[in-house]
Chains A and B, each alone.
Chain A
Amino acid sequence: MVSQAVQVDNLHKRYGDVQALQGLSFEVRADEIFGLVGPNGAGKTTTLRTLATLLNKDDGDVTVAGHGVDGDPDAVRRSIRYLPEDAGAYETMSGRQFLEFVADFYAQGDEAAAMVDRGVEIAALDDRIDDDTQAYSKGMTRKLLLGSALMTDPTLAILDEPTSGLDVQNSKAVREVVKEFPNEERSILLSSHDMLEVEYLCDRVGLLNDGVIVTSGSPEELMAEYDAENLEDVFLEVVA
């Protein structure tokens, strides 16, 4: 077990003329949900993609589950699952086939079958799990993807806007699954624009603006520090 699921030090990333991340540092501890919040263009998705080994960093150190994203990206990928904000599933597969497809990359035989059963349970799509995913609503696809992300028991689940586009009922169901996920060997790093969701789910929050963490702490600590009634007010205060 690693006490820190994520350690980010002085992370820099530039896209052409735009400096997306400029010295970003934070950590995600084991058994916690860490929320990354900030305005549009603050660098949240860039950070999550870098941790998911989808983007190469320009400078800084990033360690996920004890593995450097540069030195051993395959080990990082084995330790994580990434749920992008705007993701889909393969339309020619049923929900169950999609889960089997993902499970094959992490386990074989009975272990893979158990993983798929776990994914089916998390997705909670009942009989529709055997329908082609092209017949799924956005909410159903999101729940399927969440099931595929958490069924592999990743050391770190990276969730970008996990309830994006979902109705109230589905959002609540997804939040409950996410809330129950962390334990001594599992953590979650999530990004969300929904401050109530972040306040409800996250043990600690990092407020990101212009590519750096401006402040971080538990929602209660941040509200006390900024003398705010809720996290939304903290966000507005910090961004202002």
Chain B
Amino acid sequence: MRPFTRLIWKEARELLRPRYILPILLLPLIFVGMGQGFSGVEAQLGQEPTVGVLNHDGGEYSQVVVETLESRSNLAHRSTSGSVETALNETSASGGNAVIEIPENFTDRIESGERGRVHLYTSVESVSIVGIASSAQVEELLSHSAHNVTVAVTGATEAELDPIERDHTTYVKGRQLAAPPGVVSAAFTSQFIFVPVIIMLAIVFSGQMVMNSMASETEHKTLETLLSMPVERRSIVGAKLVGGSVVGLIATALYTAGIAFSNLSIGSVGETSALTLGAGDYLLVGLSLFFTLVGTLAVALCLGLFADSQQGAQMLLLPLSGLAIVPMFATMFTDVDVLGPAAKGILLAIPFTHPIIAPKRLLFDDQALVLAGIGYEILFSLAAVWLAVKLFESDRPITGNAGWLQRFVRLVQR
């Protein structure tokens, strides 16, 4: 095995230790667990609700209501007399929790031009998402019943009841899209919340891994031995960047899978295919992310030189995480292009901004701006790697002395 390969192998082994990898594995498992829970709720809400009906009326329109309930629900109890308590108990025994009581003057009121009145009794035993959400199903049943009563009373057709058909055209930054604003919004949410979160996770995890790598060398007193071996400093830097980023990207993939399984993300953008990215666009986003990662990891490596333990490394990661979160939120809640010159300049100066805003720019064919961002990332990564190599060639890995930077780092650690 060549020394560089051996160094990468060593880094991967060190970083895949349970103490580093378990906390990363835990959150995706939580996401998956939440996803299973939500899926269970969805499955339950997808089934026909079980209800009971107590019909004291016996008129034409109460019969329409009962027929609607029969066709759209599992009618566990049906009677024309008896108590609500008995009806609820029987319905509950069949797995339902709601009884609709129709009073005797229901049909008379409607025939005289008034609104009919029913009383809905709901028994909520489970104070949870399922328990509360199931009552919404019963409300929907009553809406259907009201619709059918309207048809029965007026003899109106569906077209007469909903006489306006809508066609949508939405203009986003001058681009014409044949979709309602709500669907466009859902598509944007998918692109600009999910993607930035994943990019932010990749930056934070990879940075954390590289810092852990340096902290581990210091903690286990292996750095002096490593640096005295016949391998160029840039190879050590390169191996730490590659090892850290590989493990960091694996962690990101696990999180992404966890989020995808959890159904917590906004799903398919479906009919708004005009708002999705093509393969070439993803390549540009990938390039932007790659150079950002290289630069970020090199900065993390520089900071990691001053971490004396894993705990210290976590503290030093805070400024990097903060810088990654700022453009993420900025992209979620505003558009960088509509900000004032100062705020825009600050955001664009943060290297993490460029891969985060790249998807949005590519959707609107701003490829030149994305390419300019990639150019900036290349300069940033070259500068950061150069700084890391210079630091490794200096006394600092051994003495830990970093002058003004050390004083700043201590301030951050406090």
Name A residues whose Cβ lies closer than 8 Å to a Cβ of B: 15-16, 49, 52-56, 74, 77-78, 80-84, 86-93, 101-102, 104-106, 145, 148
Contacts and interface: CB of A to CB of B under 8 A. Distances in A.
User: What bracket does the count of chain B residues touching chain A fall in?
Assistant: 20 to 34
B6 interface: yes
18 contacts: A16-B401, A53-B227, A54-B228, A74-B232, A77-B229, A78-B230, A81-B228, A82-B224, A83-B225, A87-B221, A87-B225, A90-B13, A90-B220, A91-B220, A92-B14, A92-B17, A102-B229, A148-B225
Given A56-B395, A90-B13, A145-B225, A106 B230 contact: yes
Interface string B192-236: 000000000000000000000000000011101101111110000
A124 B370 CA distance: 60
Contact of B222 (A15, A81, A87): A87
- Label chain B's interface by main secondary structure: loop
Contact of A89 (B13, B222, B230, B397): B222
B395 A55 contact: yes
B1 interface: yes
Contacts of A148: 225
Contacts of A54: 224, 227-228, 395, 397-398
Contacts of B227: 53-54
B6 A104 contact: yes
Interface of A is mostly: loop
Contacts of A49: 224, 398
Contacts of A80: 228
Nearest to B221: A88
A84 B13 CA distance: 23
A49 B221 CA distance: 14
A185 B234 CA distance: 30
Given A77-B229, A106-B230, A90 B222 contact: yes
Interface of B: 1-3, 6, 10, 13-14, 17, 220-222, 224-225, 227-232, 394-395, 397-399, 401
A88 to B, nearest CB: 4
Contacts of A83: 225
A82 B395 contact: no
A138 to B, nearest CB: 11
A87 B17 contact: no
Contacts of A105: 3, 6, 229-231
Q: Which 6 A-B pairs have the closest CB atoms?
A: A82-B228, A88-B221, A77-B230, A78-B230, A88-B220, A84-B224
A78 B228 CA distance: 9
A88 B394 CA distance: 22
B229 A55 contact: no
Contacts, number: 73
A23 to B, nearest CB: 19
B225 A55 contact: no
A74 B231 CA distance: 7
A77 B14 contact: no
A131 B166 CA distance: 73
Given A82-B225, A102-B229, A106-B230, A90 B398 contact: no
Contacts of B3: 104-105
A77 B3 CA distance: 14
Nearest to B1: A104
Nearest to B6: A104
B408 to A, nearest CB: 17
A111 to B, nearest CB: 14
Contacts of B394: 56
Contacts of A93: 10, 13
Nearest to A51: B228
Contacts of A56: 394-395
A145 B232 CA distance: 21
A176 B199 CA distance: 57
Given A84-B224, A89-B222, A15 B10 contact: no
A88 B6 CA distance: 18
Nearest to A102: B229
Contacts of B2: 104
A101 B10 contact: yes
Contacts of B232: 74
A109 to B, nearest CB: 11
Contacts of B230: 74, 77-78, 105-106
A15 B13 CA distance: 35
B94 to A, nearest CB: 59
A176 B399 CA distance: 32
A78 B232 CA distance: 11
A218 to B, nearest CB: 28
Given A78-B230, A105-B231, 5 more contacts: A52-B224, A52-B228, A54-B224, A54-B227, A54-B397
Contacts of A84: 221, 224-225
Contacts of B221: 84, 86-88
Nearest to B225: A87
A54 B6 CA distance: 21
B222 to A, nearest CB: 6
Contacts of B14: 90, 92
Contacts of B231: 77, 105
A15 to B, nearest CB: 7
B399 A55 contact: yes
